[in-house]
A and B are shown apart, each in its own frame.
Chain A
Amino acid sequence: MSIKSDRWQNLLSDDSLWKSYNEYVNKWEKSIGSFLQFDADKTKGDSSSDGLLKGMPFGVKDNIAVKGFDMTCGSKILENFNCPYTSTAVQKLQGAGAVVVGKMNMDEFGMGSSTDNSALGETNNPWDKSRVAGGSSGGSAASVAAGQVPFALGSDTGGSVRQPASFCGVYGLKPTYGTVSRYGLTAYASSLETIGICAESTAITRDVFNTMKGIDNMDNTTVDYKPSGKDDTEIIAVLKVGENDLSEDVLNSYRVSQQRLKDLGYKLIEVELPTLKYVVPAYYVIATAEASANLARFNGIRYGLAQKGAETPSDLMQMSRNSGFGDEVKLRILLGTYVLRSGFQDQYYHRAQKIRTAILNDFNRIFEEADALMLPVFPTAAFRHGSSDLTQLQQKAADLYTCSANLAGLPALAVPSTIEKGLPVGVQFTAPAFEEERLFRISEKLEEIFPAQKPEGFSEEWKI
């Protein structure tokens, strides 16, 4: 099933529609702050006037390159950095007629689970403004939930698309590693991350994914897309969770989704992932190690923030990095530098890479018996700003259900499950590499029973 793009057909050509669209987005902006830049006109001319996604507005996480817009990555070191080129993924969407309307807020360089780590703005959850939208693609998920855009691009390094999607009650896809070009995605942890999609429906998620995927000469890690052809699922493995693993609300929601799957006729088998307890440290070792190198390029010489008054090149680099990077970024750079230092590599980096193999083996074992695996997205629903609900360390530990798919390179989809005490909660499905379609089909069946809910203030009136 494909989306009905006629809803968007006239958005570009009808001035009054365009105006009311702008007004609607700006009204929401006052309360949620999902955009770092909103300018619906800026790149209209770069989009094809025809195609599958004709006229469809979308937001782009601010670590993905769109020529004409800034690309800040939520960091002071790239504040006012006007991007001179466009990422391959965005180019493909523009080619299919979709229109970039702005850049979405995010945790600085994708480092965080709340978007509170953005140096350039605060984003609130459209369901409860005192709560976070999740992260690091918080702006992307919030804007979709609020109906500002039907979809937005995010990036998923350890759950950064799926977790905010779950917090905001929208669909969130992390594609198989290498299926969507990373050219133009500011690297945080190159071997783990992919460009992902937050969307208001499974159908849009599918169309956007199919538009973006494919080999790109600019990204040598893109792969031939070779699904097995078995798109329908019979058996779903369900990760066994303990009473204390999840908050009461999330546990309840998890059980509800499980029951729905049963009702839909899927055969469920309960499974365990023995390696799961090691994935968070392994993930953070690899992610920070890669980040320490990826973020070395920001040094005040060729672009971005350059601190004045430096007397040596080394000074210039240190001063610019010191004033340009936020605390969380510095912490991760230090960690990553440390685990790569000679004498420590075996203990940390090499061991983490072996755990990566172990989690992949765990998944492979499960997929010998099952077509897909269901697991939670995050142990809690959207938490409050600051660290009153979850400390930074607890937030990191909570990445365990999402980061496994990144370590293994597998596709994973967060699907809205229930509303618990006024907050959306999602559930996650993962499948073998290239089996995105399998995930979409499960998601569509659940969507028929429980479509994505809308927060108060959501309206589609402007579309009329």
Chain B
Amino acid sequence: MKYQSFVGLEIHIQLISKTKVFCSCPNHFGDEPNSNVCPVCLGYPGALPSLNEEAVFKALKVCKALDCYINEKVIFDRKNYFYPDMPKNYQITQFESPFGVDGFFNLELDDGSIKKIRIHDVHLEEDAGKMIHDGYQSRLDYNRAGTPLLEIVTEPDLVAGRDAELFVQQFRQMVRYLDVTDGNMEEGSLRCDANTSINLPGKGLGTKTEVKNLNSSRFVNKALTYEIKRHGKVIDKGGEIIQETRLWDEKTSTSKSMRTKEDSHDYRYFPEPDLPPYRVTDVLMKEVEDSMVELPNDRKKRYMDDLKLSFDQAAFITGERKTADWFDSLLSIGSDANQAASWLSGDIQKILNKEDVLLENSPFIPKRIKELFELINDKKISNNIGKEVLQAIFKEDKDPSVIVKDKGLEQVSDSGAVEKIVEEVLAAHPAVVDAVRAGDDKQVGFLMGQLMKATGGKVNPQMAREIIVNKIKLDISGDSQSRDPKIIEKGSEK
């Protein structure tokens, strides 16, 4: 690679709250246009902002998770520019002294190595309304105007499109863990702007361009990969990069210029006189710390190191916090980690996918799964019957013990009873018995299958296999002491 590349991200997340950040209108998606509006969020003359404490709390949670320095005196600023989706024509945001600065995020790269990505700052601001363009006019809906938005700005520590994609994915996972946003990129709950520059090694940052409104982590990768390549081509030809904002066009897989620096804004930031500075107290910070959860990458590491789960299993289970919480609560009542992990990532997930139900909303409550494991581990049912029971738990929303009892699925482990059934099966298939005797061990499987068929799978399979093998092979060895005369008889008949 001839050039060094630098990528920084600005990520906006919509915070979960009951009301907007500066007024008590509902913060709710999907309502009738302009129904969640009031004099404050419509920028009426005389209306004033009033800060939502929940937004403050959630902002601090993110700051804490990113290990930011929390400013003692947090100041809101006005960012001035005219745009129809912004009622006051200034945005209340934070500029000089935001909630958090100088944090970092441990990004896990594809090879498993960790890269520290520095966080420039975390600031709280208000969102704009929505504009729908149709032909000759634009329609405005201000329901979203004034909803709480948290902006996280990274330093240009990312190198390639793939890094940025991973960052968006892992960051999204983290903020979902923190329960501060739903992180839905398609709906705009998590929005990403990416800036990039390239330069010869050792020369520092180059002239940057910014790509706006990337609404999936894949597009982040594609757009940045494209931009880095484009910069390289321009510089190779002796050209200069123009500092500008560009838009990613997914249809053509190219970026195109939106506005250059010349017509960029002069935002004229100044402290918001309607909001006094906010001083973060130790008491509040303690509450924030108490509310923190183990973050996904830490949890994944713990699962691999302490529980010896595979990377894939650990990654799967920690993908969603609710899944990991479910897993932990199953372990906390005494289930084995490996058994839990393989069932969770296997049959349980299969059913949930097929039925399109979330684990936390399913009848698979940890207590039931623990009971299921015990039935299997105590050999009261076979592993295969266990799968059947799992299906039944989902369909009937009942405890496994009840299902096993109702359906009479309890495994037959009484050796006398098993022997009796084995004998019947062997008698019915003398040719196969001969084949086994002749050394074709694979045919034992056939006999097992027949046995299971005959019993509805209820026979303890290990015991059954042992008995089958013993009955046939012992016959060969001629160990009469343990021979079952009936089988010998049958065998001799042949």
Contact = CB atoms under 8 A, between A and B. Distances in A.
B275 A220 contact: yes
Residue in A71, A301, A303, A349 whose Cβ sees the most chain B Cβ within 10 Å: A301
Nearest to A223: B276
Contacts of A464: none
Nearest to A336: B268
Interface residues of A, number: 43
Contacts of B140: 301
A295 B45 CA distance: 9
A297 B274 contact: no
B276 A221 contact: yes
A73 B45 contact: yes
Contacts of A341: 266, 268
A337 B87 CA distance: 18
B46 A296 contact: no
A297 B46 contact: no
A302 B43 contact: yes
A187 B82 contact: no
Given A293-B90, A297-B87, A342-B268, A218 B45 contact: no
Interface string B240-275: 000000000000000000000000001010100111
Contacts of B275: 220-221
Interface in B42-74: 42-51
A403 interface: no
A299 B45 CA distance: 12
A85 B39 contact: yes
Interface stretch (A177-185, A233-241, A250-258): A177-185
B88 A296 contact: yes
Most buried by B among A78, A297, A298: A297
A219 B80 CA distance: 21
Contacts of A290: 270, 273
B266 A187 contact: no
A186 B45 contact: yes
A84 B80 contact: no
Contacts of B276: 220-221
Given A218-B48, A297-B88, A190 B80 contact: no
B70 to A, nearest CB: 20
A269 B90 CA distance: 47
B215 interface: no
Nearest to A190: B273
Interface in A184-226: 184-187, 190-191, 217-221
Interface in B109-151: 138, 140, 142
B138 A313 contact: yes
Interface string A294-322: 00111101110000000001100100000
Contacts of B138: 313
A24 B73 CA distance: 55
Contact of A87 (B46, B83, B90, B268): B46
Contacts of B45: 63, 65, 71, 73, 78, 81, 186-187, 297-298
A219 B49 CA distance: 7
B72 to A, nearest CB: 19
A52 to B, nearest CB: 25
Nearest to B76: A220
A301 B84 contact: yes
B43 A297 contact: yes
A22 to B, nearest CB: 28
B208 interface: no
Contact of A84 (B39, B83, B142, B273): B39
Contacts of A187: 45-46, 48, 274
Nearest to B45: A186
Interface string A335-366: 00100111001000100000000000000000
B46 A184 contact: yes
B78 interface: yes
A370 interface: no
Interface string B77-96: 01010111001111000000
Nearest to B138: A313
A289 interface: yes
Contacts of B78: 293
A400 interface: no
Nearest to A189: B273
A410 interface: no
A219 B268 contact: no
Contact of B46 (A183, A217, A220, A221): A183
Given A65-B45, A190-B274, A313-B138, A293 B80 contact: yes
Given A296-B88, A340-B80, A220 B270 contact: no
B477 to A, nearest CB: 92
A218 B50 contact: yes
A155 B275 CA distance: 20
Nearest to B275: A220
A303 B48 contact: no
B51 A220 contact: yes
Contacts of B273: 190-191, 221, 290
Contact of A342 (B44, B82, B266): B266
A64 interface: yes
A301 B80 CA distance: 17
B50 A220 contact: yes
Contacts of B266: 341-342
B412 to A, nearest CB: 72
A221 to B, nearest CB: 6
A217 B53 CA distance: 13
Contacts of B46: 63-65, 71, 85, 87, 182-187
22 contacts: A65-B46, A81-B45, A185-B46, A187-B46, A190-B273, A218-B50, A221-B273, A293-B78, A293-B80, A293-B89, A296-B82, A296-B88, A297-B89, A298-B45, A299-B82, A301-B140, A302-B142, A303-B42, A314-B82, A341-B268, A342-B266, A349-B270
- List the 4 closest pairs (A to B, CB-CB), nearest first: A296-B89, A191-B273, A340-B268, A190-B273
Given A187-B45, A302-B44, 11 more contacts: A73-B45, A87-B46, A183-B48, A220-B51, A221-B273, A221-B276, A292-B80, A293-B90, A296-B80, A297-B44, A345-B268
